[in-house]
Structures are given as structure tokens and as C-alpha cells.
Structure 1
Amino acid sequence: MTGPHDELATDTYLGPLIETHGRLTIEPADGFFQRFVTSILRQQVSMASAAATRERLFEAVDVTPAGIRQADDEVLRDAGLSRQKTRYVNNVAWAFEQRGWSKTYFEGMDDDAVRAELTDVTGVGTWTANMQLLFSLGREDVFPVGDLGVRKGMQTLFDADLTRAEMVDEANRWRPYRSFATLYLWRIEEDIAESVAEVVGE
């Protein structure tokens, strides 16, 4: 029985990357909510800024749905969250509490259904939803073309200035294991690999 690496290793583009980096795996995070919050902190800011905010936030409050909801907004702001992101993490905490979000909750849903529910909450966009599918739920066929690192990796790998639509078309060659392909795309350039390490909490 073949697995994702056996399938992808025969690909002209990914094969050499798999040989270089070995078998990269997708391991769902234990701390679903904490991973979710980290993804929100990473929205539209530098790696260094997000890392500093994450460290201050995790020291200042108990990063659980109840802990975030009970924390005064000023405490979150002092940790480095903008007014907007303070609202976003509270929205997500509310969803975990009121909707019962958990790995078990999403188990029976396909990827599109998960994205639809996650992005129904203000502050959760497609990129953040895809990060949860990949790193919190361990889904195997996620291709986050909205991610800058993925797009950089695709352009380098294919040596072409591709549109997002063209990238999606090219990535179809890696179905149903596009999540694994994404892991290798992120490792094509060192600066991308370092940024992803912060997103996934490595």
C-alpha cells in the first residue's frame, strides 16, 4: 500500500524536495485553540512581531476560550494585540465555547464545510481556516494558495510567474496529498521555512 510520500516522490517537481528533506509529516496539534490564536496573531504582521506578541500573550493570560473571554481587553492590548485582533480572538473564543468547536466537532465535516464554518466568524479568513485544516485537524489535501510562502515556493519550483489560478491548476497534480506538497513548498526558501515554524509552533 502506497502512502503520500510514495506517490509524491515520483513527481518531477516534488521528488527532489522529498529526497532533500525526507518524509515530512502532518501531526495535528494538541492545543487546537492555542494554535488558532497563534494563526490570528500571524495575520499580516512580521514573524518577529507575531512571536513577540505570542510570548507576551501566553504569559499574560490563560490561552483557553474561557481565559481569553475573561481577560480584560486592556490586558490583551498590553500584550500587543491590536484592537481588531483583540476582537478576533474573543470571537474565536466565543465560537469554541458557544458552538463547541473541537477536533471531534469537525471530524465528520469535509474541508469545504470546515472552512465555511470557521470563516463565518469575523476575523477568520480563508488563510486562517486553511492553517487549522492543516495543523489542527491534520487534513491531507489542503492547498493554501492565499499563503505568500506557498506562492513563493510555487514560483521558484516551477520557475515561472504563475497566477493564483495557475498555481491551483498545477497543484492538482498532487491531489489528494496537497497538504504534504505544501510542507515541501514552504521549505524551498529558508525565510519561508522560518516563518512557517512560527505559525505551527515549532
Structure 2
Amino acid sequence: MQKGKPQWWDEAVDHLSGDPLLGSTVELYSEEYLSGRGEIFQTLVRSIVGQQISVKAADTIHGRLERLCEEINVESIASCTLEDLASCGLSLKKSQYIRGIATSEVPLLPEGFEEMDDDSIAKHLVQFKGVGPWTAEMMLIFSLMRPDVLSLGDLGVERGIQGLVPGAVTKKEMFEVAESWRPYRSAACWFLWRSLDPVPVEY
């Protein structure tokens, strides 16, 4: 798991800057980059917090969690009660999800995950309550730094693609638009998010 700029980022920028659809966006934000947190549990918590709420609301709740726990990790979350977590603005379900994963005996990442493909890791992650395909994709992008994850379940990615190609309405059509972005679709997602948000997205 990596922190900061992905090792493959410069290659991704070179590849995507020549794309007729995405190239101008890449050039506009070429000095910025996707930044990884390194610790997968922190990415998991931020992703669950951010499910189905605005970025601003998620940042507020996450800030309260940080003040409550000092450092967000398995131990600090496991020591919190559901009431503690809910006091930060989390719903009861999200509180249960986060604490349930923190206290689970099943490791968040399986042994040998470095050699596993993205789909296999995602399949392992979604067995945890509260982790759906979108959350697994955020973990693959922002913690494991996998370069070719296309999150078509993300509203921002959908809006970004439709902004480039208004006729791309279905998942199949959007998938086809993104084919030329392989093998750096994670970077493409980041640039789509960046084009829509005033600050870089982080999970």
C-alpha cells in the first residue's frame, strides 16, 4: 500500500494527455495527482462515511471522527461504542458497519493480495457488511493504488463521462468511452472527479 503519488502516475498522465476527450482536462490539472493514504482501513472508513452524502458533509463527519479517535485505525474504532460513532454524525448503520469491520476476525486484506487481480480483491472486500462495489473500488484506487479501476458506480465518474460524451447514457456506453483510457482508468476517474470538484477527491 502506497502513500502519496502513485509510482505509475507520470506514465498515466502521458497516456491520457493525448486522449481526444480527456486530454484537455489532464493538461489543466497536470501538476496535481491522486494521493494515496497508504492505510487501507482509513480509506475504508472515509469511503463508508462518504456513501450517499455530499463531499462537504463527509468531510465534516470525518473530521469529527478524527477528533474523537485522534487517529483512525482498527484499534481506535473498535474501542468506540456505536453511540460514540453516531455522535459524529454517522447513521446507525454506518456506525455498525465501521465498528463491525474493526472488530472482525477476518483480515481486511487476504494473504497474498499483492498477487491478486482487482476483481478478486473486490470480491473479498464486499463480503464485509457496508462494503459494496463502489467502496471496494475506492479502496483499490486510493489505498492499493491499482492503476486501472473504472468506477462506473460513482456519480462523479458518470457525470464526467457524460460531460465529455453526452450520448453515453448506459453503463455499456460509458464503459466503451473509457476503453481508450486503459491501462490507467483509475487516473482517468481522478481527472473526471477533479474536473467537477474544486478540490482533489481523497478517500
Say which structure is richer in helix: 1
- Contact kept in structure 2, 1:88 and 1:122, CA below 8 Å: yes
Secondary structure at the residue paired with 1:3?
Answer: helix
- Separation in 2 of the partners of 1:31 and 1:178? 22
User: Paired residue for 1:148?
Assistant: 155
Deviation at 1:193, TM superposition (A): 4.6
Alignment of 1:1-150 (within 5 A): 3-22=11-30, 24-61=32-69, 62-95=71-104, 98-101=105-108, 106-150=113-157
Q: In 1, Cα distance between the equivalents of 2:146 and 2:152?
A: 16
Secondary structure of 2:102's aligned partner: helix
AA matched with 2:36 = P
Q: Shift of the alpha carbon at 1:19?
A: 1.7
CA distance in 1, matches of 2:94, 2:162: 31
- 1:102 Cα offset (Å): 5.2
Q: Distance in 2 between matches of 1:105 and 1:122?
A: 22
Q: Note the aligned Cα RMSD (angstroms).
A: 2.1
TM-score (norm 1): 0.86
Shift of 1:90: 1.5
Q: Which runs of 5+ in 2 are unaligned?
A: 1-9
Q: Are the equivalent residues in 1 in contact too, given 2:101–2:128 (CA < 8 A)?
A: yes
Q: Gaps spanning 5+ residues in structure 1: where?
A: none
